[in-house]
Amino acid sequence: MMDGQRPLFDRICRLVDLPIIGPLLYRLNVNRLIIRYMAAGHVYTDSAWLHGERLREKLDVTRLSGARFSSVRFVTGKLDPLATRTEFLDAAQRSPVPMLIVYGAQTPSRSRAEMEALTSVPSIRTAVLPLGKLSVHEEFPDLVAEAIKPFLSNRS
């Protein structure tokens, strides 16, 4: 996420943008097998959670018109408006909006490092849940809701 711009990522985006080769490359990356692999690896704690109707819904999203454009830009960091962690933390420091970070104990190390970096900002509160990876909100919505309630209660 915060590794700055990479020329390889620019080339990947340009390839995926091409009319014929782009959809082919995208389909290779978002088929049922790859999505299950990614989900088990860094998205969900329970590798069996994404199956049946849930898996069909995820696959439906990948098949929407134009999905490849946002997907590749998300994965390559092109949607990130800030290029460095320092810029990211400076923006968080300046924000007048109270913030709460909620993440699971099994969050992958690179993503977790960015979340933990935010703990250096005094105005940001953090809740680390005993379970969960990147989609902790999907897999454990009740735990997430319980973590959010005290934050919202203190805002009144």
Classify residue 39 as exposed, middle or buried by CB count within 10 Å of its CB (0-12, 13-18, 19+): buried
Cβ 134 vs Cβ 105: under 8 Å: no
Cα(44)–Cα(106) distance, integer angstroms: 9
Cβ 103 vs Cβ 80: under 8 Å: no
Which residue shows structure tokens 């250096």? 120
pLDDT beyond 60 at 3: no
pLDDT computed for residue 155 by the predictor: 65
Cα(139)–Cα(57) distance, integer angstroms: 15
φ, ψ of residue 125 to 5 degrees: the values are -100, 150
pLDDT beyond 90 at 83: no
What would you measure as the largest C-alpha separation in the chain, in angstroms?
A: 53
pLDDT digits (tens, 9 = 90+) for 7-62: 899 999 999 999 999 999 999 999 999 999 999 999 999 999 999 999 999 999 99
pLDDT computed for residue 2 by the predictor: 47
pLDDT digits (tens, 9 = 90+) for 109-134: 999 999 999 999 999 999 999 999 99
